[in-house]
């Protein structure tokens, strides 16, 4: 019976470690070099690279800063996209979080959601800049208050929708009143 002594031979090949170092220098993240999800760029298994870094502590100051830099660069690239005008613009989830942060949480839920929605559409259409969110949320609140009056029900002759001339009375079916 042949028994292999634990730790006597490394489970990794130095070619894989060298390829991981070169990949890190070229801008690849730890996950891209070690994960099965990235078959095109994977050069070594995760546990093998970690074992190599444990066996050779001189690799840690080389690889760790590269992986941190690459992860930050990839994250920044994911959070921004190139717009049509060639200007870096934030993605929609970043815009949505910024709009939600600008609108106070003390408002009624449905009013706040209406304001957030209107502001988001205005930002995406280019009518409102991200720098103006904190200053201009009140004008969107005025529009929402027109839609959801605080103390009185809307008149039956008030517009049913923001666009169009249809009044609320015209949207009521005859079946309810007969």
Q: pLDDT of 42-57, one tens digit each?
A: 899 888 888 888 888 9
Q: What is the pLDDT of residues 125-166, one digit of tens each?
A: 888 888 889 899 999 998 888 777 667 676 777 777 777 788
pLDDT at 172: 75
Integer Cα distance of 12 and 45 in angstroms: 8
Q: Is the pLDDT of residue 31 over 60?
A: yes
**What pTM was computed for the model?**
0.41
User: Is residue 8, in this structure, part of any structural domain at all?
Assistant: no
Query: Looking at the structure, do residues 65 and 110 belong to the same domain, yes or no?
Result: no
What is the pLDDT at residue 104?
A: 92
Contact in structure between 124 and 91 (CB atoms under 8 Å):
no
pLDDT in tens, 58-98: 988 888 888 888 777 776 655 554 444 444 555 567 788 88
167 lies in some domain: yes
Q: Are 97 and 165 contained in the same domain?
A: yes
Domain boundary among 50, 80, 110: 80
> Shortest CA distance to 10 belongs to which of 61, 53, 67?
53
Same domain, 64 and 120: no
Task: Give pLDDT, residue 5.
Answer: 54
Q: How many domains does the chain have?
A: 2
CA torsion sign, 173 to 174 to 177 to 178?
negative
- Whether residue 101 sits in one domain with residue 73: no
Regarding whether 172 and 100 lie in a shared domain, the answer is: yes
- What is the domain extent for residue 122? 91-176
Domain boundary (30, 56, 80) is at: 80
72 and 147 part of one domain: no
Cβ within 8 Å of residue 90, ≥6 positions away: 79, 80, 98, 130
Classify residue 6: in a domain, yes or no.
no
Contacts of 91 (CB under 8 A, 6+ apart): 78, 79, 80, 81
What 8-state DSSP symbol labels residue 153?
Answer: P
Q: Do 48 and 70 fall into the same domain? A: yes
Cα dihedral 38, 41, 43, 46, rounded to 10, equals: -30
């Amino acid at each position: 019976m042949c028994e292999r002594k634990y730790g006597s031979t490394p489970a990794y090949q130095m070619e894989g470690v060298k390829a991981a170092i070169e990949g890190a220098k070229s801008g690849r993240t730890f996950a891209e070099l070690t994960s099965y999800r990235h078959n095109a760029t994977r050069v070594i298994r995760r546990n093998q690279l970690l074992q190599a870094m444990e066996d050779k502590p001189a690799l840690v100051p080389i690889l760790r800063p590269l992986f941190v830099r690459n992860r930050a660069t990839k994250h920044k690239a994911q959070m921004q996209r190139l717009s049509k005008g060639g200007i870096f613009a934030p993605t929609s989830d970043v815009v949505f979080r910024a709009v939600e942060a600008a609108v106070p949480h003390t408002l009624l839920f449905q009013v706040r959601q209406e304001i957030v929605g209107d502001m988001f559409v205005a930002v995406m259409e280019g009518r409102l800049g991200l720098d103006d969110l904190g200053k201009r949320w009140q004008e969107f609140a005025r529009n929402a208050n027109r839609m959801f009056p605080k103390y009185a029900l809307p008149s039956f002759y008030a517009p049913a929708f923001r666009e169009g001339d249809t009044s609320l009375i015209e949207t009521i079916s005859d079946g309810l009143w007969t």
